[in-house]
Chain A
C-alpha cells in the first residue's frame, strides 16, 4: 500500500506531522516531486481558469500522484486553529479534485476542524489511520512522535536563515533518506532585514515564488517570515487590533507585520500574493495601512502562472535599491 501526499498547499506547514505519523504506522509514503513547469501545466489543464495559482498547482501534484499510488492523503481542512478558518477553497479542495479528476485512486480524507469537538487535528489523523487499517493504540503512539517532530520543526523554522534548505533537510530526514538534520544559522552580517509575508506554500515553493528567498539572500538581505515569530507573541500583537482576521494566513501576515513594525525589526515588507487570493486581498490592505503608519515601504508581488521571472527581478532590484538609499 502506497500513500501519496501532494507537495502542495498545507503540506509545507504540516509535513513533519503527516510524514512522521504515516511512517510510524509503516505506511509507504510517497511525496510528489518538487514543482516543475510540467506539473503546473498538468494542473492548469484540469482546474478551472478562475481558481488561484496554488490550487491549480495542487491539482497538478495530485494528478502526478494518480498513477503511482494506491491512495492519496487529502484532508478536508476547515480550521487548523480554534479562532481561524482556512480559505474556503481548502475546505472544498478535496471535492474539487473529486469532481475534476476521474482517474483518482482512493482518498484518505478526514475532516480537520478545530472548532468542532469531533474533528480535531489528532482525531482526524487517527481516523486517517483507521482508513488505512491501523489501530487506535498504534495511531496514538505515532501521533505523539509526530507532534514532537512538528514542534521541533517549527523551532528550527524560527531560527533558520535558509528556510527552504531547512524544509529539504527535514523532509530527507523524515523520509529516511538522511539521518541527521543539519542546522542552518541565521546570517548576521547583512545590514537590511526584509519581512517576506505570504503563505508558506507560495514563498517556500521555489518554482512559483521564482526563488524569491534565495534572490534576497544573494543580494545580502536578511529575510524574516511570519513563521520566524513564536505563536504567543503573534497572538499578543493581534489582540491589539479591533478585529482580528479570521483566516490562518491572514492572522500570520497581519500579526507578524505588527510585530516587526512595532519592534522596528524590519526595514521593508514584501507581500507575496497569488492572484485571485481572497483572504490576502483583505489582509494585505490592513498590512499596507499599518506599514503606512510606521512609514515602512511595502512591495506586493502578485504571482500567477503568467508571471515572468524578469519582471519579478526588476521589481525586486528597484525595491532593494530604494531601501539602500
Chain B
C-alpha cells in the first residue's frame, strides 16, 4: 500500500527483526491471492493475501495485522487471512496491531523487538514515520511536474533515485540531507506552461495509493496532459487515524463538513471524505473528479450513490471506476480518454 512496505521494513529492521519484503505487488501477487480468497472479498483483501502467501512460502511464521472494530472489513482481515492460511496448512500466528492506543502500540513494538529498549523502539518508529513523510512530500512535488512531457522522464528518474536513497538511509541526518537535495533538484524544474485540465483523484485509500491495483492511473492521466490532484496520502491518514494532531486544519474534518448535507452520519472508511472532497474540489475550480473503489466496497458504494446527486447539484463531472482483478488497462484507458475529452469540451464551451 503505497510505501508502507518501505516504512515497516525500516521499523522492523530497527527492532532487530528479520524482514521479508514481498516483491512490488503485481499481477502475480493478485493471482495468487485471488485463488485462495473468498470470491466476494474486496480487492485489497485479495492482494494482501497474495503478499502473505509469498511471505509464508519464504518461511514467515507471524502475521501482523491491523485490528479494528469496524464497520469496514479491513479490521477483520487478519482473522480471515489466518484461517485461510491455516486451511492451507501454514500454521501462522496473528499479532493484532492496536493503532488507536499509542502506549499499547509502542509496547507491542518493543515486544516485537525482542529485548530492544523503549528508546530504540521509539526511534525505529520515528525513522519509519519520517521516511514516509518525506516520500509523500516528494510525491506531492512531482505531481505538479508530471503532466509535462518534457519533464516527465527526468522527474521519474529523480523520483526513483531519491526513493532508493531514502530506502537505504538509516539515520535522521542522512534523511535530512536527502530531503534538502530533493527539494533543490525539484525546484530547478519549472514547467513552461500550466496544464489545461486538472482532475482530482479520490476514493478508497488502498486502491488510490497502490499503483499495481489502479494500473498506474496517475501516470496514465499525466500522459494525457492532465494535472492530477491527489489529497489522500498515507502519512495524512495515519496522522488522522492515530489522532497525532487533533487540532490541525486537516482536510478530513473539512471534507466531513462539506459532505454533511448529503450524508448526515459518518458511514465509515473514506465514504464521507470522498463525497466532501468532491464538493471541495468543485468549489476550488477543479475540472473533474475520478472516484476509485474496489468491487464490493460497501462504504464507497454509498459514496458513489450519493455522488450522483451531489455531483449534479454542484455541477462537477465525476467518473466512478470500480476496480477488481479483472480490470484491464485497455478498458481503463478508454474510459479515461472519454472522460478527459468530455472535460476538455466542457471547458471549451464555458
Contact = CB atoms under 8 A, between A and B. Distances in A.
A91 interface: yes
Contact of A92 (B80, B94, B96, B306): B306
A50 B295 contact: yes
A111 B265 CA distance: 8
A29 to B, nearest CB: 24
B262 interface: yes
A313 interface: no
Contact of A88 (B262, B299, B308): B299
A277 B295 CA distance: 11
A53 B82 CA distance: 29
Contacts of A89: 298, 301-302
Given A246-B76, A285-B84, A277 B304 contact: no
B149 interface: no
- Most chain A CB atoms below 10 A, which of B69, B267, B299: B267
B100 to A, nearest CB: 14
A282 B264 contact: no
Interface in A260-291: 273, 275-282, 284-286, 289
B117 interface: no
Contacts of B306: 92, 95-96, 99
B27 interface: no
A243 interface: yes
**Most A CB within 10 A of own CB, among B67, B69, B79:** B79
Nearest to A284: B38
A88 B71 contact: yes
A189 interface: no
Interface string A216-250: 00000000000000000000000001110111001
A195 interface: no
B71 A85 contact: yes
Contacts of B71: 85-88, 91, 246-247
A281 B267 contact: no
B262 to A, nearest CB: 6
A76 B310 contact: no
A100 interface: yes
Contacts of B331: none
B347 interface: no
B289 to A, nearest CB: 16
Interface string B72-115: 11011011100110110000001010000000000000000000
A292 interface: yes
Interface residues of B, number: 47
A131 interface: no
B265 A76 contact: yes
A152 interface: no
Contacts of A99: 262, 305-306, 308-310
Contacts, number: 136
Nearest to B269: A88
A48 B96 contact: no
A281 B41 contact: yes
A287 B106 CA distance: 34
A109 B266 CA distance: 15
A85 B263 contact: no
Contacts of B322: 50
Contact of B297 (A95, A250, A278, A286): A278
B83 A88 contact: no
B302 A88 contact: yes
A172 interface: no
Count chain A CB atoms within 10 A of each CB in B76, B266, B295 and give the residue with the most.
B76
Given A78-B265, A243-B67, A100 B305 contact: yes
A109 B301 CA distance: 20
A50 B304 contact: yes
A182 interface: no
A98 B297 CA distance: 20
A11 B304 CA distance: 25
Interface in A41-95: 47-48, 50-51, 76, 78, 83-89, 91-92, 94-95
A278 B42 contact: yes
A51 B308 CA distance: 14
B221 interface: no
A76 B267 CA distance: 10
Contacts of B264: 76, 94-95, 109, 111
A281 B40 contact: yes
Contacts of B268: 85, 88, 91
B70 interface: yes
B263 A243 contact: no
Interface of A: 47-48, 50-51, 76, 78, 83-89, 91-92, 94-96, 98-100, 109, 111, 241-243, 245-247, 250, 273, 275-282, 284-286, 289, 292, 302
11 contacts: A47-B305, A50-B304, A50-B322, A51-B301, A92-B263, A92-B302, A98-B262, A111-B264, A276-B296, A285-B83, A285-B84
